[in-house]
Amino acid sequence: MTSKSRKNITVKAFKARIQHHLNFHAVDLSHSIDKKAILMAVCSSVNEIVFDKLQSTNIRRHERNSRSINYLSLEYLMGRMLSNNLHNLQLFKTAQAATKELGFEIEDIFEEGHDLALGNGGLGRLAACYLDSLATLDYNAMGYGIHYEHGLFEQQFYNNRQIESPDEWREYGNPWEVCRPEAEQEIPLYGHVETVAETDGTLRKVWHPGQIIKGVPWDVPIVGYNCETVNVLRLWESRASSHFDWEAFNAGDYQDANSAQTQAETISKVLYPNDSTAAGKELRFIQQYFFCACSIKDIIRRYLKHHDDWSQFADKFVIQLNDTHPTIAILELMRLLLDEYRFSWDNAWQMCKQVFAYTNHTLLPEALEKWSVELFETILPRHLEILYRINEEFLNGQVDKMWPGDTAMRRKLSLIEEGQQKMVRMAHLSVITSFKVNGVAEIHSELVKQDLFPEFHKLYPNKLTNVTNGITPRRWLKACNPALSDLISKKVKGDWAKNLSLLSTLTDYAEDKKFQQQFMQVKRENKVKLSEEIKKLTGVSVNPDAIFDVQIKRLHEYKRQHLNLLHILALYRRLLENPRLDINPRVFIFGAKAAPGYYLAKEIIYAINCVAEKINNDARINDKLKVVFLPNYRVSLAEKIIPAADVSEQISTAGKEASGTGNMKLALNGAVTIGTLDGANIEIAEEVGDDNIFIFGKTVDEIKALNRQGYDPVSIYNSEPELKSIIDWLDSDYFTPGKFGELSAITQSLLNDGDHYKVLADFVSYSQAQEALDKAYKDQAGWAKMAIMNTAMMGKFTSDRSIEDYANNIWSLDKNLPATQAVKLASGE
């Protein structure tokens, strides 16, 4: 089928397809059709087209034998797939009309779909946006990850506290995946290494594993936007290897056979729910090795299918490591080249240095992964040997050459951290092996060079670089905000979802009264819709004419949801003192999951919920303030909140948020940012201009200076009367009647534990910026202009730009154009 005939699928034909598939998914067509059945039937109808395109993409790729990018990530936060796939296939309107004829609103069908939540937050969502752009730009790309049985936990609130329950995303089957048994892999673990002498006298290492796990691939098709490409995300599921347990089983030892199976299947059972903290658990280590080993073996299998020797391997494959989580892939490729394919050490190492590139996502020390040497010894003994040799050659070679005889430097840069327990520094291994290392926003990449890896920067002056993160405008504007998309399409010529810089033509209308009204009318309609959702989720009624002030992201001290809370308390106090205080009514909207083991994060959730309960039920303040914490923040909830946001809270401590991507999604949808000079906020400010953003707080350098001088939060508390009264208030039983000190974990962290994230240092500046924002909102035309300017100037932050940066500056990718287009280009059209 050509693209032409596909675009011409009529409503009638699409409806017939859905009805055909309903035969499989609905029990009894004579009765009213269940929403889950219609969802499955629509997905199956879409899949006919998707898999057709996947086949032709594969054929095209095979013919062209183009260089492929292989993205290794422990997390993919995909969200729901149907709406996005329909938009990318340009089938949305057709499907909408077809399902309408069958008696369903398409939005209600979408609601039946489960999020694919195989990630924690920004890092996993970035991987999902990059897959969308890679397909849209027609790059030969493959994503590799883990097929978790349970993704990120579901969150509910009970007595204002977070309760977690397991995510059952495949409870009714997942229509967007297909098992590929032909690409199964076997993964060794444990055991010992034997040194064998060959007949020619050379020594060879043989790893005798103690256990073998099977890796079963599930492929999720990734549909490019308005193009012919469908790529694949390959997710590995662990199973017991069939060799293994039958012996025990036949010997009557069913228990043992079964426990081996259970153990094997545990590996891909559950996503670790820690965002920005290394888990340090044996199972996590095995998860990382399991998926890296499956992926590297799959890459080699794909290469050897089309090549007789290794001469082109580094030309045909580049492997991007999304953070240090997949670092073990380096050791696995070394091992296979040395032990299975009999490379010399130097040749194997040269090869590895050409294929890997690494993205650093954080400077937070608690997030930098280290694994104990002991764990390596037990689980991956052969990999440890290889690691030691890499380290030896690195220290005696490059390090000794740059810093001769400097033992302190050797200790500092070594892949092994000395101490009570020897630890392997995964970031160091990634940096010394990779041909490029990138940070994820300009400031972050500078800090990687200056503060995190200054010595590596000296050793490899061209290795460290920047690729500012991006988001896909298909999901984060076109699909999630149809009303704004339609308005934009009336003013912007061309396919702005594919060329986001086109939005800058909207600046021509930023002061156009009529356009301002239309833009704000769309915003208001989105706020009405969100108000209904808020009512449904929390029972709280909110006023769509209030300012919708949004902070949605993982709960973390560095993101400073508690700074937002202190400001809410300040407003509340001011209103109680003067109920006629002239401020715009405001609704503070939170969405955030806390890692289940992160005590203070959970206390912050509890405090926000307690304060919300008090404020929302206080008749004295005339509904001028509302606070809602929407449960179970995830991609599909973000898609509902973002189009309705007036204000985007991006208030991390400067230097802590590597980039942020929520900031980009919100600004793209016309929310005005109040934020610190951190991560991509800085680049957003550059794009929208200082008049269209509210910047506050200490800069990176000022925070560093505070740390040098010795930061004293208590002196700030004592010298700022409003701040003092708020903190004392939080410490009373005002928000938890009868329970004194119920919320003092927060005040404790701010006053007694040193306020590590400088909340008090930034409070006054934040509060002033909020006042300026409130004042700005009173000028309706002025605000509309700001909102429009934000949407108009987000072109830079499309993930298409990020991917082109990677393709040009890191991966050296050529395009894998479809034959027709390639011919056109060749003939100079």
Indicate whether 645 belongs to the interface with ligand PLP (CB under 6 A): no
What span, in angstroms and rounded, lies between the C-alpha atoms of 341 and 338? 6
Contact segment (CB under 6 A) with ligand PLP among 138-146, 630-638, 691-699, 774-782 equals 630-638
Cα separation of the two ends of the chain: 24
Contact segment (CB under 6 A) with ligand PLP among 47-55, 456-464, 595-603, 660-668 equals 660-668
Residues in the chain: 829
Indicate whether 816 belongs to the interface with ligand PLP (CB under 6 A): no
Residue with tokens 């070679």: 397
Indicate whether 326 belongs to the interface with ligand PLP (CB under 6 A): no
Q: Does residue 553 have an active-site annotation?
A: yes
Contact segment (CB under 6 A) with ligand PLP among 66-74, 454-462, 659-667, 816-824 equals 659-667
Contact segment (CB under 6 A) with ligand PLP among 45-53, 279-287, 453-461, 631-639 equals 631-639
What span, in angstroms and rounded, lies between the C-alpha atoms of 350 and 432? 12
Burial of 527 (0-12, 13-18, 19+ CB in 10 A): buried
Q: Toward ligand PLP, which CB reaches closer, 561 or 616?
A: 561
Cα 396 versus chain centre, distance: 38
Among the listed residues 436, 554, 560, 624, the single catalytic one is 554
The site map against ligand PLP for 64-103 (x = CB under 6 A) is -------------x--------------------------
Indicate whether 675 belongs to the interface with ligand PLP (CB under 6 A): no
Q: Does residue 559 have an active-site annotation?
A: yes
Q: Toward ligand PLP, which CB reaches closer, 375 or 682?
A: 682
Q: Does residue 665 have an active-site annotation?
A: yes
| Smallest distance, ligand PLP to C-beta of residue 794, A | 14
Q: Toward ligand PLP, which CB reaches closer, 185 or 472?
A: 472
- State the alpha helices, DSSP H only, in 441-560: 442-447, 454-459, 473, 482-491, 513-538
Among the listed residues 284, 370, 559, 656, the single catalytic one is 559
Contact 435, 354 (CB under 8 A): yes
Residues 6+ apart with CB under 8 A from 233: 76, 78, 131, 142, 143, 144, 145, 219, 220, 221, 222
| Smallest distance, ligand PLP to C-beta of residue 668, A | 11
Identity of the residue numbered 426? M
Task: Kindly state the helix (H) or strand (E) to which residue 79 belongs, with its residue range.
Answer: strand 76-79
769-808 residues in contact with ligand PLP (CB under 6 A) are none
| Smallest distance, ligand PLP to C-beta of residue 120, A | 8
Work out which of 395, 452, 635, 726 binds ligand PLP, going by CB under 6 A.
635
| Smallest distance, ligand PLP to C-beta of residue 660, A | 4
* Nearest Cα residue to 641 out of 552, 514, 512, 565: 552
Indicate whether 589 belongs to the interface with ligand PLP (CB under 6 A): no
* Nearest Cα residue to 176 out of 39, 62, 73: 39
Q: Toward ligand PLP, which CB reaches closer, 371 or 476?
A: 476
Identity of the residue numbered 413? L
Work out which of 145, 215, 662, 713 binds ligand PLP, going by CB under 6 A.
662
Task: Kindly state the helix (H) or strand (E) to which residue 69 belongs, with its residue range.
Answer: strand 68-72
The site map against ligand PLP for 18-57 (x = CB under 6 A) is ----------------------------------------
449-508 residues in contact with ligand PLP (CB under 6 A) are none
Residues 6+ apart with CB under 8 A from 363: 444, 447, 448, 451, 452, 655, 656, 658
CB-closest chain residue to ligand PLP: 662
Contact 492, 503 (CB under 8 A): yes
| Smallest distance, ligand PLP to C-beta of residue 797, A | 12
Indicate whether 634 belongs to the interface with ligand PLP (CB under 6 A): yes
Q: Toward ligand PLP, which CB reaches closer, 326 or 660?
A: 660
Structure tokens at 803: 């991917």
Among the listed residues 553, 656, 758, 801, the single catalytic one is 553
- State the alpha helices, DSSP H only, in 539-619: 561-577, 599-616
Q: Does residue 554 have an active-site annotation?
A: yes
Would you call 303 helix, strand, or coil by DSSP? helix
Indicate whether 217 belongs to the interface with ligand PLP (CB under 6 A): no
| Smallest distance, ligand PLP to C-beta of residue 259, A | 36
Q: Which 3-state string (H, E, C) describes 810-826?
A: HHCCCCCCCHHHHHHHH
What span, in angstroms and rounded, lies between the C-alpha atoms of 52 and 266? 34
Contact 138, 229 (CB under 8 A): yes
The site map against ligand PLP for 110-149 (x = CB under 6 A) is -----------xx--x------------------------
Structure tokens at 692: 């269209």
Work out which of 621, 638, 773, 803 binds ligand PLP, going by CB under 6 A.
638
Q: Does residue 67 have an active-site annotation?
A: no
**33 half-sphere exposure, CB direction, 13 A CA radius:** 23
φ and ψ of 594, to 5 deg: -105, 140
543-562 residues in contact with ligand PLP (CB under 6 A) are 553-554
Among the listed residues 468, 661, 676, 798, the single catalytic one is 661
143-182 residues in contact with ligand PLP (CB under 6 A) are none
Contact 632, 156 (CB under 8 A): yes
* Nearest Cα residue to 169 out of 111, 233, 116, 128: 116
Question: Judged by CB under 6 A, how many residues of this single chain contact ligand PLP?
Answer: 13
Q: Does residue 266 have an active-site annotation?
A: no
Q: Toward ligand PLP, which CB reaches closer, 482 or 662?
A: 662
Which residues make up the interface to ligand PLP (CB under 6 A)? 77, 121-122, 125, 553-554, 634-635, 638, 660-662, 665
Residues designated catalytic: 361, 553-554, 559, 661, 665
